[in-house]
Chain A
Amino acid sequence: MATSTSPVNLTPDLPIHVIAPASGWVPIRLRELWEYRELLYFLVWREVKIRYKQTALGVAWAVIQPLFTMVVFTLIFHKLAKMPSDGIAYPVFVYCALLPWQLFAFALGESSNSVVANQRLISKVYFPRLIMPMSAVCVGLVDFAVSFCVLLGLMAYYHVMPSSAFWTVPLWALLAVTTALGIGLWLSALNVKYRDIRYTLPFLTQILLFATPVAYPISTVPETWRWVYALNPMVGVVEGFRWALLGTSGWAGMSVLMSVGVVAVLLVSGLFYFRRMERTFADIV
């Protein structure tokens, strides 16, 4: 066959792609992902543009949602249930956790739905499919940046000084996004085959919210159960945020390490699972 001919031809420097059925687990191919970084950028940019063009209130939604949730939480958990807040003004305390939470919840929802939502693209163009959940999680960062500014205003109003670890905020945001991506990779691939995911997701997110110290401080969780509790990677993320911004709970090393560990497992397994499933996307979706 021609495969054995010597490479004497017009343009010998062209790379050769071999197309053949893969079996079992396939490599992630990070280099290819890197080559497609501009597509990632454009997909995020497109999504952000569309979101703000199609809504009447535009960017205001990024503020309204966490702000109203904060008000409701303050009324219910603080005024009625008398929830402690580690000595911080409750609105700041809860808003500070709602920020990463909403970033996570939004990113999770978008990424889980990303493959199904882009089915036209999948069946018409080739690009590394991982770009879809990845771009979906990044879109939430814009909202996050906007609502973060509100937090600064809120802190100023309640005279809360940011701690010296303030600069670590981007790292915690990254951890929140990575958590969403880790779960999103699994769910988006499963969603192609089992559309049940769409109905399961809001329920799952809600349960997870109550299993995360958003409305209450982690100090209310019994010591003996903390390690089980910290299996929820969002525990570490929220604790990290409060530590970086409010300097309250002290360095929550254990839960943060647990988070990073769980996220790493989710992410790596999710990447491989997604890559394994992606070859059937164009045929099933």
Chain B
Amino acid sequence: MRPAILADKLSKQYTLGRREAYGSLRDSLVRAAGAPVRMVKALAGGRAPSDGANILRALDKVSFEIHEGEIVGIIGRNGSGKSTLLKILSRITEPTSGRAEVRGRVGSLLEVGTGFHPELTGRENVFVNGAILGMRKVEIARKFDEIVAFSDVERFIDTPVKHYSSGMQMRLAFSVAAHLEPNILLVDEVLAVGDIAFQKKCLGKMDDVSKAGRTILFVSHQMNQLRRLCSRIVWLDRGTLIETGPTADVTNRYEASFLETRTAPGDLASSPGAEFLGWTLGKSGSADHTLYGFGPTTVRFRLRIDRPLRNGHHGICLYDRDGEVMWGTGTDNLDLDPGVYELTYVMSTLPLKPGPYRWHVSLFSNGRFINNLDCVPEMGIATEPLGHRRDEYAGVLNFPYSLDIRAVSGAAHDTRAAEPLVETVRS
């Protein structure tokens, strides 16, 4: 079967360095004064001679195939070439070498609300934006009511969007995009914004779209989103393809790559008497050191005691990447005979924001240091961020919550009784 998207050794290079991306004509004229031929070439070719400048390989020989009806996620750190790949596949920019084949009509959603103008009304913007995204006029007209209903801004559809709240603008723009019906949809990280409820609505819509046989390729940093939607993942790093494969496998390995893998020696590496052997996460003690959800969490540490331990003290501490203590506790009066022990902590929840964390465990005997361990690998927390969508306001904790605002006195109370004004549930 011929794939919907076929990438064959796609590469994209940018020239960095002395030469400005766009210069002034004077520079070109001055440079050309001695060499008119080169000037003509520069004007006609548009390609700067690489006079020892640095080459940035945004994509380096990336090859993969995506079949019709698949939803495939693209992951990778910042600058790994995810956006460049989408730009090449959506024909915004050309590859430097290699080729790709794309079957059918391509819709790309690299930004929400491209072409929206504040002076135009919601209605006008829907048409302009739809046309920019590649919809036909009749198609927009046919879906117009559906688009507006989906966005929940019916009442303001004939108001200039400059009077909209940013959330309303976003919802309207999303709605247009959600009603695109291309054969292949390329989505950059646009779903990261907007409120969670609406995000879910959009994801649901995307799911429907793929059930209708359309192919979706999308970039996201939200592992849960990817796990929910995608069948396969393409993992890029610094422009090269690390691997493509089933979602669970690739996302796990991707997250593990963030965790520190080198073995950190304890303060006193081979202190006699006892030694921490390692740690596991979860009841089953699987090899996965990433926490994906809220709720009860089990963490286990293995400890080998070589000499009897009397009046022992065991300490535990959870650090974040910056070395800040997130939580810690200690246990006294331990008397342990030689053998291998399992220390199992069960927490009702570990409501920390997503990211890498490190467990630190220690053991003392009669106030004398015996052994400690900076646990490797680090623990990854990959829960869905439910706090403020701007990191600086979201804090270090992350947990499901609900909000209900209702009037208890005043005019609103009189007219609307005890009906809630705002109800938010984030879980």
Contacts and interface: CB of A to CB of B under 8 A. Distances in A.
Contacts of B94: 19-22, 279
B110 A19 contact: no
13 contacts: A3-B6, A3-B8, A9-B2, A17-B91, A17-B101, A19-B95, A20-B99, A21-B94, A127-B132, A194-B24, A279-B93, A283-B93, A284-B21
Nearest to B133: A125
A122 interface: yes
A121 interface: yes
Given A50-B117, A194-B24, A284-B22, A17 B1 contact: no
A126 B65 contact: no
B88 A124 contact: no
A11 B68 contact: yes
A19 B89 contact: yes
A15 interface: yes
B114 A196 contact: no
B6, B26, B88, B92, most chain A CB atoms within 10 A: B92
A159 to B, nearest CB: 42
A16 interface: yes
Interface string A247-259: 0000000000000
B153 interface: no
Interface stretch (B119-127, B260-268, B311-319, B382-390): B119-127
Interface stretch (A38-46, A98-106, A203-211, A212-220): A38-46
Interface of A: 1-3, 5, 7-11, 14-22, 38-39, 41-43, 45-46, 49-50, 53-54, 120-127, 190, 192-197, 273, 276-277, 279-280, 282-285
Contacts of A277: 46
Nearest to A17: B102
B93 to A, nearest CB: 4
A124 B92 contact: yes
Contacts of A14: 103-105, 183
A3 B101 contact: yes
B100 interface: yes
A125 B92 contact: yes
Contacts of B50: none
Given A19-B91, A42-B127, A125 B132 contact: yes
Given A9-B1, A127-B132, A276 B101 contact: no
A42 B3 contact: no
B119 A53 contact: yes
Contacts of A11: 68, 104, 183, 213
Nearest to A118: B115
B127 to A, nearest CB: 6
Contacts of B136: 38
A5 B2 contact: yes
B106 A17 contact: yes
B96 interface: yes
Interface in B1-22: 1-3, 6, 8, 14, 21-22
A54 B117 CA distance: 11
Contacts of B114: 120-121, 124-125
Contacts of B88: 19
Contact of B46 (A45, A280, A285): A280
Contact of B97 (A16, A21, A54, A273): A21
Contacts of A46: 115, 117, 120, 124, 128
B92 A282 contact: yes
Specify the main secondary structure of chain A where it touches its partner: helix
Nearest to B11: A21
Given A125-B133, A192-B22, A196-B26, A2 B99 contact: no
A41 B94 CA distance: 26
B95 A8 contact: no
A30 to B, nearest CB: 17
A11 B1 CA distance: 10
B102 A16 contact: yes
B119, B131, B160, most chain A CB atoms within 10 A: B131
B111 A19 contact: no
Given A5-B1, A121-B115, A196-B24, A15 B104 contact: yes
Given A20-B100, A43-B128, A125-B133, 5 more contacts: A5-B2, A14-B104, A122-B92, A124-B108, A126-B108
Contacts of B2: 2, 5, 7, 9
Nearest to B87: A282
A46 B160 CA distance: 13
A2 B103 CA distance: 13
A120 B114 CA distance: 8
A195 B25 CA distance: 8
B349 interface: no
B137 interface: yes
A9 B3 CA distance: 9
A126 B104 contact: no
Contacts of A19: 88-89, 91, 94-95, 99-102
A43 B43 CA distance: 29
B159 interface: no
A129 to B, nearest CB: 10
B37 interface: no
A42 B24 contact: no
B25 A38 contact: no
A54 B119 CA distance: 7
A277 B3 CA distance: 31
Contacts of B100: 18-20
Contacts of A8: 1
Contacts of A122: 92
Contacts of A196: 24-26
B99 A18 contact: yes
